[in-house]
């Protein structure tokens, strides 16, 4: 079956520009997570959705970052006024439901480079 997909796979943008990163979760998965992974580090939690609402956005680094999931399926991570420090791989994951046995399934990630 189809896994989690993310587009684009690579994005190069200039400092100060706006970018949108898209995540298509596994069909039927109610929970969706965004992470950011810098070189040589483990993924760092950004935000988590249960259905359409952002249940926990405590990992977003500042107000330049925003994410939506309007219909409870596809999610978009939006970054305004990009900075070079935003360069990283942005990973999306989904799980069937929230619970102790919820297994996260990850997409391949979007590599963002801010020049």
Partner 1 sequence: KQEVTQIPAALSVPEGENLVLNCSFTDSAIYNLQWFRQDPGKGLTSLLLIQSSQREQTSGRLNASLDKSSGRSTLYIAASQPGDSATYLCAVTNTGNQFYFGTGTSLTVIP
State the residues that interact with partner 1 by CB under 8 A.
Answer: 4, 31, 33, 35, 40-45, 48, 50, 55-56, 58-59, 91, 93, 98-109
Query: Considering beta carbons, is residue 16 or 61 the nearer one to partner 1?
Result: 61
Tell me how crowded residue 44 is: count the other CB atoms within 10 A of its CB: 14
In the complex, the smallest distance separating the C-beta of residue 36 from partner 1, rounded to whole angstroms, is 11
Query: Considering beta carbons, is residue 20 or 44 the nearer one to partner 1?
Result: 44
Strands 110-114 and 10-13, by their bridges, are: parallel
In the complex, the smallest distance separating the C-beta of residue 48 from partner 1, rounded to whole angstroms, is 5
Query: Considering beta carbons, is residue 73 or 94 the nearer one to partner 1?
Result: 94
In the complex, the smallest distance separating the C-beta of residue 78 from partner 1, rounded to whole angstroms, is 20
Q: What span, in angstroms and rounded, lies between the C-alpha atoms of 26 and 16? A: 32
In the complex, the smallest distance separating the C-beta of residue 107 from partner 1, rounded to whole angstroms, is 5
> 75 phi and psi, to 5 degrees?
-125, 150
The alpha carbon dihedral of 8, 17, 66, 37 has a sign of: positive
Which three-class secondary structure state does DSSP give residue 86? helix
Whether the Cβ atoms of residue 54 and residue 65 lie closer than 8 Å to each other: no
Query: Considering beta carbons, is residue 3 or 85 the nearer one to partner 1?
Result: 3
């Amino acid at each position: 079956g189809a896994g989690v997909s993310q587009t684009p796979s690579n994005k190069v943008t200039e400092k100060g520009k706006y970018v949108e990163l898209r995540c298509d979760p596994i069909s039927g998965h109610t929970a969706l997570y965004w992470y950011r992974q810098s070189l040589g580090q483990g993924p760092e939690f950004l935000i988590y959705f249960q259905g359409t609402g952002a249940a926990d956005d405590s990992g977003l680094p500042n107000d330049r970052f925003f994410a939506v999931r309007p219909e409870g399926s596809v999610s978009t991570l939006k970054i305004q006024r990009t900075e070079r420090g935003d360069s990283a791989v942005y990973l999306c994951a989904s799980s069937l439901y929230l619970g102790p046995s919820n297994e996260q399934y990850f997409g391949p990630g979007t590599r963002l480079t801010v020049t």
